[in-house]
Amino acid sequence: MSIGARPRQAYWFGGAAVFAAGVIVCAVIAPRTAAAGWLVGFAFWSEVAGGGLLLMMIHRLTGGRWGEVLRPVIEAMAATIPLLLVLIVPLFIAIPAIYPWFDGADGVKPDVLAHYLNTPFFVVRSLIVLAAWGVLALLLPRLEGRRGQLVAALGLAFYCLTIGPIGFDWFLSLAPPFVSSSFGASVAVTQLVAALAFALVVAPPPAEEPALADLGGLLLAFVLGITYIDFMAVLVIWYGDVPATTRWFVARMDLLWRLLAWAAFAFVAVIPILSLFLARVRHSRDALRAVGASALLGLVCYDAYLVVPPFGAAAFVPAVLSIIAIGLLLVALMRGGWSLARGRRPAYGE
């Protein structure tokens, strides 16, 4: 890290502390609402960090110039995963306030509540997954060749086994007994969108980089993937007309939540897809940065749509504060990782 970067990091840490104080004030006034807002912020930044790890593992197995170009930034994103072990603690504390299964829930089988949806197992599952992701994030950059490929393959297998339960725990168990068999895939692709969009916003490759268009093509594939998965889930659930599942959507039929859903659809799907169909956009550094920003904004709306409705519009305030507080903290740490990475790889994206 350069000497000049240290004062900037101090500003980011200071800003994170200020916005975190705002979340604490919200928690004093309305603990349940503040906890929901914190979950939105935690979910969004866990998508960025987890997506960085996922991209890193995929690149180890597939290769490609795109991964070499992104390597410093995705390694820096993934390296923040251990901090998520600390940032999830407020969510654990808030379990009695925001998760209905804590006191039992209508429609949930007693054996599910006894053996799966309970506080100790919820905490253990989350900690195991985040700890394993953190180990992978710190280990993979230090392994090359076949050893790195083996660890990446085992890591992807573990990721595929755990992303579904974690997505259910953090999001869907807010409204039991709603379940979706495709939600794990939705969370995985959402993480890919978040990580690639974040990388293109904060550190896009230079305009002359040949892999620039490949990154645009990858982002197009990811946003098409999340659009297809979520559309088919809505189609199957809605027309299946099963009360236990359609009730989740009915609870989000008020105008505010519909506007939030349409905003997520517009910023994550419509704008990126229509833009990235154009070759000149995929070859433009500035255009990809704008498309990435649109996708990130849409993901914020999407996460809020998943979490906020049961807690009311007031949860938007702590959600915004949490997103900014966690973001400033993680970006400050990521920049330190970038500086270290630039010591052994070409710099870009300044």
Per-residue model confidence as pLDDT tens digits over 99-127: 999 887 777 778 878 788 889 999 999 99
Residue 336 has pLDDT above 80, yes or no: no
Please tell me the pTM assigned to this model: 0.91
Domain assignment present for 349: no
Domain assignment present for 254: yes
Domain assignment present for 346: no
Percent of the chain's residues with pLDDT above 90? 72
Domain assignment present for 117: yes
Alpha helices in the chain (DSSP H): 5-29, 31-62, 65-78, 81-87, 89-93, 95-98, 110-115, 119-139, 145-170, 183-202, 212-240, 243-250, 255-265, 271-276, 279-282, 285-307, 316-341
Domain assignment present for 35: yes
Question: The dihedral of CA 4, 5, 8, 10: what is its sign?
Answer: negative
How many domains is the chain built from? 1
Q: What pLDDT is attached to residue 326?
A: 96
- CA-nearest of 291, 286, 319, 233 to 37 is 319
Domain assignment present for 209: yes
Q: Do 304 and 260 touch, CB atoms closer than 8 A?
A: yes
Residues spanned by the domain of 61 = 5-341
Phi-psi region of 143 (alpha: psi -120 to 50; beta: other; left: phi over 0): beta
Per-residue model confidence as pLDDT tens digits over 153-177: 999 999 999 999 999 999 999 988 8
Domain assignment present for 113: yes
